[in-house]
């Protein structure tokens, strides 16, 4: 995974995948969202909103999935994924059962990442 953006509170990482997939982590390893200070929660929610809007505008996916689990990694983080009917797992989650072989032809991910960084900076 590579880091797309970071500041003193959060970092945004790229998840290597067939679909556009970013993850937002807190810099401090809080275990639960209820432990995160309010100003960082608001920053996370603003980032989720901005990233979702960029994904919708740029990729026009069937659905955006936003998830926070942390069962294997007890560190607050959020997944933001653009989903397409043609992706390998749709309609199941990306952690679910593969439904088909897919060869998605999507707009350039690097351009999308630049748009995200420009929007949130």
Q: Could you report the per-residue pLDDT of 34-84, keeping only the tens digit for each?
A: 999 999 999 999 999 999 999 999 999 999 999 998 777 789 999 999 999
- The half-sphere exposure of 43 on its side-chain side, counting CA atoms within 13 A, is 19
CATH architecture label of 2-120: 2-Layer Sandwich (3.30)
Q: Where are the domains of the chain?
A: 2-120
The mean pLDDT value for 90-113 works out to: 95
Give alpha helix (H) positions in 28-108.
38-59
| pLDDT-based confidence at residue 99 (cuts at 50, 70, 90) | very high
- Distance CA(2)–CA(14), nearest Å, equals 5
- For residues 51 and 44, the answer to whether their CB atoms sit within 8 Å is no
- Is the pLDDT assigned to residue 93 strictly greater than 90? yes
């Amino acid at each position: 995974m590579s880091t797309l953006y970071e500041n003193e509170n959060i970092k945004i990482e790229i998840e290597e995948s067939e679909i556009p997939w970013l993850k937002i982590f807190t810099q401090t390893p809080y275990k639960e969202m209820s432990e995160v200070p309010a100003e960082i929660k608001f920053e996370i929610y603003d980032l989720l909103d901005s990233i979702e809007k960029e994904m919708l505008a740029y990729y026009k996916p069937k659905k955006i999935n936003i998830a926070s689990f942390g069962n294997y990694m007890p560190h607050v983080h959020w997944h933001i994924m653009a989903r397409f009917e043609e992706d390998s797992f749709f309609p199941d989650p990306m952690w679910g059962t593969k439904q088909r072989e897919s060869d998605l032809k999507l707009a350039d991910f690097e351009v999308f990442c630049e748009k995200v960084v420009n929007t949130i900076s």
